[in-house]
Structure formats: C-alpha cells, structure tokens
C-alpha cells in the first residue's frame, strides 16, 4: 500500500426499472455526476462493473461507456464478480492508483436487467452459482439462500418476527432515500402475508431486481484535494473468495469470505468493528443482512436478527446499518450495488446524503457476489 487513495467524486442514477433507457445512458448519468462532483476531472482509467450485460448481447463495456462519455483514448476494463462486481472493481481501481499506474480512476457500476424477462434474469443470477454441479439440480439463487435461512433460524432458534425486523428497518430507512427503488414502509404482518419465494424466504425478505448505475472517482493523495474539498480516504480494502457452490461449504450460517474480507480491511485500516459509525451491508435477502452483521463483527453469532428486533442498528446507533435502505429498499442493480454502497457511505461521511443522515467519521461497505463466494469489504474515513 504505497499511496493513499481517496474518493473525490460520487454519482448515482435512481434505482428502478428503466425499460426505455440504454445501459450506456444509465452509466453515463452516474459517471457525469461523479465527474461533476470531482471538479470536472478527466479520469485516466475507467473500471466498469457489471454482471449480466451478456444477456443483452453486449460485452466490452469499458470501451462502450468510455466512448459514450467522450473518453476515447483513456484506459480501462470490466470487472465481474457476480453481485459483488462493484466491490471487486473498487479493488482494481484502488490498485491502479496506489500502484502509480494512474492518478485518477473512475469506477462505474451499471446493470440493466429490465430488458430481459424475470425468468431470464433469475436464470442469469444463477450464473453466480455452479453451472455444472449445482444449478442443474433445479435450484435457484433464492433457493440457495432459503437453505441458509432455514438452517440459521433452526440452529439459533430465531423466529419469523425476528427475521422480519430486518426488512422493516430497511424500508423505514429507504423510504427517505430519493434514489431508492422501493419507497414504502412495511409491517411484520405485511412480511408474513407476502408470498413465499423459496420457503422460508418471502417476497418481503427479497431485494427487487433493479436497473441503475453508480460511479465514484478515485484519486491519489497527491491530487485528491485538487478535485474535492472533502476527499474521503479508503482506509482499508479487502476481498476474499469462497467456493461458488454451497454444497461443499464447511458451514452454512456464516460466510468465510465475509469474515476474511472484513478482517483484511480492518487490518489495513488499523480499525475494528466498534470504530464503525455507518455501514452498508449486502442484504439481497434478510438472511444475508443478518449473517453479515455477525461476520463483520457487529453482532455475536446467532444474535444478528434478535438485535435488529431489539432495535439496534437504527439511524443514530453505532453503527447505523443501511441508512440507504439497503438492497431491500434502495434496490439491487447487481453489478452496480457495491459502487452504490460506497457512494452512500461517502455522502454520509461528508454529510450530504439526501436521505436519512447519520454522519460519522468511519464507514464500512460490504458487497457480496454469489452465495458468499466473492466478497469485498471497504473501510472509508473522513
């Protein structure tokens, strides 16, 4: 780690279903906002994160986005790590600057799912699992997470209402986020009345399938102040891999890659979970939010859901968790989600997030690809 790296610009499109907007248009909106936020700097590298543009027969997105934004002649590539693509792209962006290969890098996460039917997208999301040894048995991505939720609830004697506390908190927070996909408040009764997706996962345990794009501009310590009066330091960044399939895992109620990536990020930042003021965790399903509360170190094992039900992790608590509304309410534009999280935490630390404001000095994001198979944790510091 030879050169410190700062976030000097952030930009997001709304999250939702934008049938009429091409992928490049969403990416361009986010990138132009981020460039504008960074005093109109011209990035030297563009790292694009995306998972499923192949379903719309488009790859080579770094060229596509760079050209659309008037940046021919810059450098770049796409990073893919399933739903964890955004976090992984930030690792690449960090390395490009810290190595000295570039002074200013744009990381642009973008996903456009609404061009495809819901069954097509559900099938696409399963590309994150094992196509040879897992998916042929007919299980979906929701089904895999349902196995984990059932196992966790049974092992730790966690009831339905305790699990429901997570999505209720998410919708309470996301209701005030102008970028959020699902702006509505929900009750425990709403959750149990919502349809079963893959037992015990119900519709209101699940994030929506979203379109959206988010971008950050990263800059080296030498130039960061030139582009933003309030640069936010990437104090720690860690990534870890686990198997794509869950059948060969040693444990189902915890993600090895979540623990390892968080350990790596905290070690690099010389900080610990108790230092974190605000966190954005990856709650594609309620169970993911709950498990990662524990794996990151915010809750003892088996206590994640119970603590949320007791009222912990609300805005103003330490840490506040998912003031954006998380994947559940803000939405989950797959390859862009990890970049949204960083935009949101950066804005919280700067004090200009347009939804629920929680402030603080230290923030954390954790972005999950697959069923815990590729996870990136980032620690940000004002």
The catalytic residue positions are 83, 332
Backbone φ and ψ for 23, nearest 5 degrees, come out as -50, -45
Q: Is 241 in the site for a second copy (CB under 8 A)?
A: yes
Q: Is 374 in the site for a second copy (CB under 8 A)?
A: yes
Q: Is 98 in the site for a second copy (CB under 8 A)?
A: yes
Q: Is 111 in the site for a second copy (CB under 8 A)?
A: no
Stretch that binds a second copy, among 76-84, 156-164, 174-182, 189-197 (CB under 8 A): 76-84
How far apart are alpha carbons 382 and 371 in whole angstroms? 31
Q: Are 289 and 149 in contact (CB under 8 A)?
A: no
Q: Is 88 in the site for a second copy (CB under 8 A)?
A: yes
57, two tokens = 């027969």
Nearer to a second copy, 58 or 230 (CB): 58
Q: Is 2 in the site for a second copy (CB under 8 A)?
A: yes
If residue 133 lies in a helix (H) or strand (E), which one and from where to where? none
Q: Is 95 in the site for a second copy (CB under 8 A)?
A: yes
Q: Which of 17, 21, 116, 123 binds a second copy (CB under 8 A)?
A: 123
Q: Which of 12, 26, 30, 71 binds a second copy (CB under 8 A)?
A: 71
Nearer to a second copy, 24 or 312 (CB): 24
Q: Is 1 in the site for a second copy (CB under 8 A)?
A: yes
Q: Which of 256, 342, 346, 364 binds a second copy (CB under 8 A)?
A: 256
Q: Are 53 and 61 in contact (CB under 8 A)?
A: yes
Q: Are 85 and 370 in contact (CB under 8 A)?
A: no
Q: Is 81 in the site for a second copy (CB under 8 A)?
A: yes
Residues 160-179 that bind a second copy (CB under 8 A): none
Nearer to a second copy, 188 or 271 (CB): 271
Q: Is 60 in the site for a second copy (CB under 8 A)?
A: yes
Stretch that binds a second copy, among 119-127, 210-218, 282-290, 353-361 (CB under 8 A): 119-127
Nearer to a second copy, 54 or 154 (CB): 54
Q: Are 363 and 345 in contact (CB under 8 A)?
A: yes
- For residue 222, the SS3 value is coil
Least distance (Å) from a second copy to the CB of residue 126? 7
Residues contacting 247, CB < 8 A, separation 6+: 133, 134
How far apart are alpha carbons 357 and 320 in whole angstroms? 10
- Residue 374, strand partner residues: 241, 369
Stretch that binds a second copy, among 178-186, 254-262, 276-284, 291-299 (CB under 8 A): 254-262
Q: Which of 58, 114, 140, 194 binds a second copy (CB under 8 A)?
A: 58
Nearer to a second copy, 95 or 188 (CB): 95
Q: Is 229 in the site for a second copy (CB under 8 A)?
A: no
Burial label for 25, CB within 10 Å (0-12, 13-18, 19+), is: middle
How far apart are alpha carbons 15 and 69 in whole angstroms? 20
Q: Is 89 in the site for a second copy (CB under 8 A)?
A: yes
Residues 12-41 that bind a second copy (CB under 8 A): 22, 24
Q: Is 132 in the site for a second copy (CB under 8 A)?
A: yes
Q: Is 82 in the site for a second copy (CB under 8 A)?
A: yes
Q: Is 276 in the site for a second copy (CB under 8 A)?
A: no
Report the chain's terminal Cα–Cα distance, integer Å: 19
Least distance (Å) from a second copy to the CB of residue 159? 33
Of 68, 47, 50, 67, whose CA–CA distance to 58 is shortest?
Answer: 50
Q: Is 100 in the site for a second copy (CB under 8 A)?
A: yes
230, two tokens = 């309030």
Q: Are 128 and 82 in contact (CB under 8 A)?
A: yes
75, two tokens = 């450098």
Q: Is 117 in the site for a second copy (CB under 8 A)?
A: no
Kindly determine how many residues on this chain lie close enough to bind a second copy according to the rule CB under 8 A. Answer: 75
Q: Are 348 and 381 in contact (CB under 8 A)?
A: no
Burial label for 172, CB within 10 Å (0-12, 13-18, 19+), is: middle
- For residue 198, the SS3 value is strand
- For residue 73, the SS3 value is coil
């Amino acid at each position: 780690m030879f050169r410190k790296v700062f976030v000097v610009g952030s930009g997001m499109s709304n999250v939702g279903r934008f049938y009429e907007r091409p992928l490049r248009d969403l990416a361009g909106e986010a990138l132009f906002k981020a460039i504008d936020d960074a005093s109109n700097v011209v990035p030297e590298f563009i790292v694009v994160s995306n998972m499923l543009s192949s379903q719309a027969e488009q790859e080579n997105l770094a060229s596509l986005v760079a050209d659309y934004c008037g940046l021919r002649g810059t450098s770049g590539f796409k990073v893919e790590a399933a739903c964890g693509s955004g976090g992984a792209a930030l690792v690449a962006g960090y390395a490009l600057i810290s190595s000295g290969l570039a002074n200013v890098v744009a990381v642009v996460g973008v996903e456009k799912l609404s061009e495809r039917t819901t069954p097509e997208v559900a099938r696409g999301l399963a590309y994150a699992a094992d196509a040879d040894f897992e998916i042929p048995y007919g299980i979906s991505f929701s089904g895999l997470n349902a196995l984990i939720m059932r196992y966790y609830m049974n092992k730790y004697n966690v009831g339905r209402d305790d699990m429901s506390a997570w999505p209720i908190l998410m919708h309470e927070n996301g209701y005030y986020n102008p970028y959020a996909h699902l702006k509505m408040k929900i009750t425990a009764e709403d959750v149990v009345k919502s349809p079963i997706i893959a037992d015990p996962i119900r519709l209101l345990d699940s994030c929506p399938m979203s379109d959206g794009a988010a971008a950050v501009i990263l800059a080296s310590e030498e130039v960061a102040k030139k582009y933003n009066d309030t640069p936010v330091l990437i104090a720690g960044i860690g990534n870890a891999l686990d198997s794509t399939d869950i059948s060969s895992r040693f444990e189902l109620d915890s993600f090895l890659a979540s623990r390892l990536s968080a350990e790596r990020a905290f070690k690099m930042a010389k900080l610990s979970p108790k230092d974190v003021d605000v966190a954005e965790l990856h709650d594609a399903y309620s169970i993911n939010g709950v498990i990662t509360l524990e794996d990151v170190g915010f809750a003892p094992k088996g206590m994640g859901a119970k603590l949320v039900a007791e009222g912990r992790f609300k805005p103003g608590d330490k840490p506040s968790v998912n003031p954006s509304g998380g994947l559940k309410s803000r939405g989950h534009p797959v390859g862009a989600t990890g970049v949204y999280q960083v935009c949101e935490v950066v804005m919280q630390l700067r004090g200009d997030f347009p939804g629920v404001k929680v402030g603080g000095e230290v923030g954390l994001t954790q972005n999950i690809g697959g069923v815990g198979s590729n996870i990136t944790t980032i620690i940000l510091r004002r």
